[in-house]
Amino acid sequence: MAGIGRIGGATLALMSTTAHAQSAPAASAQGEVAVTIYNNDLTLIEDQRRIDPGKGDVAIELPDVSAAIQPETVSLTIPDATILEQNFDYDLLSPARLLDKSVGQQVTLVHTNPATGADSGEPARVLANNGGTLLDVGGRIEIFGDMSRSRLVFPGLPPGLKARPTLSVRLDSTRAGTRPVTLSYLSHGFSWKADYVALFDESGSKDGAGHIDVQGWITLNNTTGTNFANAHVLLVAGEVANTLGDGNSAPSRRYPPRGMVQMQKAGTETSGRERLGDFYVYPIAGRTTLANAQQKQVSFLDVKGASARKIYRYANGWLGNADAPQSAQSVIAFSTSAREGLGDALPAGMVRVYMRDARGQPQFIGEQAIGHTPMGSTLALPTGDAFDVKVQPTLIKRTKLALGEWEQAARWRVTTAGKTPNVVTVENAVTHWQTTMQYRVTNARPTPVTVEVAQSGLDNGWSDTRVPSESQPGEQRSIDERVWQVAVPANGEVTLTVTFDTRY
């Protein structure tokens, strides 16, 4: 007997040697394969084979396509032949499907004597395979149960089952003879992501300046159900619009996912990487095998000694009043510019940051995800909360302003077709407020630090916040946020006081 497999503890076997040969592992039928993998579960596969389809109305099979193929995207080019019909056969051979396809068919029920080990068989017919297998054995109905002492033997493979994912094509071929065939299609089941390992070194600096070493790794996953051996592989970084699979377009990437670092400054430098339209292409050097159910890692970036800086940042929400000091964020800032940074465009991925301890051993200090980042950008990666640097925001005073501080009336010009424009004046009694905030910044480190204190929530739809006084100059980074760079001495503290005039 041959071709033995297991299902639910029961052994299934095929009797014929022909069936045995068909079920045994076979060499791949693929030819020259090129695989282009996109970020959003989409892959373009091109497979160049050489076959002799014969002449006339013929049917050919192209096995070893992706089991996650999108059949509607198939493009097949065969010289001197016209494609009449194509079918994707995804009903793959497995013990469960073998039983399903054998309902109503004759099999042999083989019993093993536990004392002697001798086998004895009797004919049976498969009645059903729904949550269990029912057999007609000599006119009696049996549930295929004592699986440690019995097995089913099949005379051959039922029609329609394929050992490998197969594309079946019907052709009108004008001649016989071997010729090149180019098969291309889109598939799900491949994915890739970028991961970065960053080693930050302050180099004894007292102001946070240092340098960073960054290694970039691409991680590939193949869950297509098919092996792709000795393939040319390209990776495309960018969000390609895709409506395959669920009928919905790719989600908008206008805003970064939760937890993703936003660029402080978008770069304007062009990377030397290969481009495909508005996307960057990362080819894998040489050829590689993408085995099914395999994860593979390939290096694509290795930069030493790029400039970097550690900074501290604290962001306070509007009217935020903390009863206790809050930790500032520890942030590693660096550039992707060619001159002083990493000198490359970075595909989206996770950055894991390390620093050396007093013994010189790299230790993990935090991780953050980044989006697709052009070359020349500035990134600031929060790695965690600082132990020794604290900020305590306090609302000192909030009072209603006199009505004369802002406009008391609003005027509109109303235009109606065929009539003289009319100016309408409306009394606009708006309540305004003056709020004084105080931020106490403390530093228990033995070296001075600069803490970026940010006050957000200043917009709220009105866009007319005023800052009549502040104990040190700030920067209005956006309508919603104002920022102060607060220098704090070693083992010291500084108090920042700011007054805001707002409509709310």
Cα separation, 324 vs 392, in Å, equals 6
Pairing state between β 449-455 and 294-316: parallel
| HEC sequence for 387-416 | EEEEEEEEEEEEEECCHHHCCCEEEEEECC
Q: What is the DSSP string of 206-244?
A: SSSEEEEEEEEEEEEEE-SSS-EEEEEEEEEES-----T
End-to-end Cα distance, the chain: 84
Phi, psi of 310 (to 5 degrees): -95, 130
Residue 205: predicted pLDDT: 66
DSSP strand pairing (179-187 vs 228-237): unpaired
Q: What are the structure tokens assigned to 107, written together?
A: 């099999």
**pLDDT value, residue 267:** 80
Beta bridge partners of 136: 125, 141
Q: Count of CB atoms within 10 A of residue 82's CB?
A: 10
Residue range 389-502, CATH number: 2.60.40
- d(CA 504, CA 498) in angstroms, rounded, equals 16
Start-end of H helices in 35-142 = 95-101
Query: What are the sequence ranges of the domains in the chain?
Result: 1-29+93-161, 31-88+169-188, 190-311+328-384, 389-502
Q: Which residue has the tokens 């000795």?
A: 230
Please say whether the beta carbons of 188 and 244 come within 8 A: yes
pLDDT score at 89: 67
Amino acid at position 333, single letter: A
Identify the H or E element spanning 17: helix 17-23
DSSP per position, 299-355: EEEEEEEEEEEEEEEEEE-TT---SS-EEEEEEEEEE--TTTS--S-B-SEEEEEEE
* Mean pLDDT, 10 residues at a time, the chain of 504 residues: 34 35 59 92 94 92 89 90 82 74 87 82 89 86 73 81 81 93 93 94 77 94 92 88 51 42 74 85 89 91 94 93 95 92 92 93 94 92 94 95 63 82 75 92 95 91 83 93 96 97 85
* Contact (Cβ atoms closer than 8 angstroms) between residue 15 and residue 108: yes
SS3 readout for 287-311:
CEEECCCEEEEEEEEEEEEEEEEEE
Tokens in use for 225?
Answer: 């159900």
Whether the CB-CB separation of 23 and 157 falls below 8 Å is answered with yes
Rounded CA-CA distance 46/48 in Å is 7
Q: Do 66 and 136 contact (CB within 8 A), yes or no?
A: no
Q: How many residues does the chain have?
A: 504
- Let me know if 138 is exposed, middle or buried by CB neighbors in 10 A (0-12, 13-18, 19+): exposed
Residue appearing with tokens 């013990």 = 95
Distances (CA, A) of 214 to 62, 281, 305, 333, 354: 44, 20, 9, 13, 10
Task: Provide the pLDDT for residue 90.
Answer: 62
Confidence at residue 439, expressed as pLDDT on a 0 to 100 scale: 98
The set of long-range contacts for 318-325, using a CB threshold of 8 Å and a minimum separation of 24, is: 318/455, 318/456, 318/457, 318/458, 318/460, 319/395, 319/398, 319/435, 319/457, 320/393, 321/393, 321/394, 321/395, 322/392, 322/393, 322/394, 324/392, 325/390, 325/391, 325/392, 325/440, 325/442
Question: 72 by DSSP, 3-state: which?
Answer: helix
d(CA 485, CA 471) in angstroms, rounded, equals 12
Q: So what's the pLDDT on residue 450?
A: 94
* CB-CB contact of 345 with 273 (8 Å): yes
For residues 51 and 171, give the distance between their C-alpha atoms in angstroms, rounded to a whole number.
13
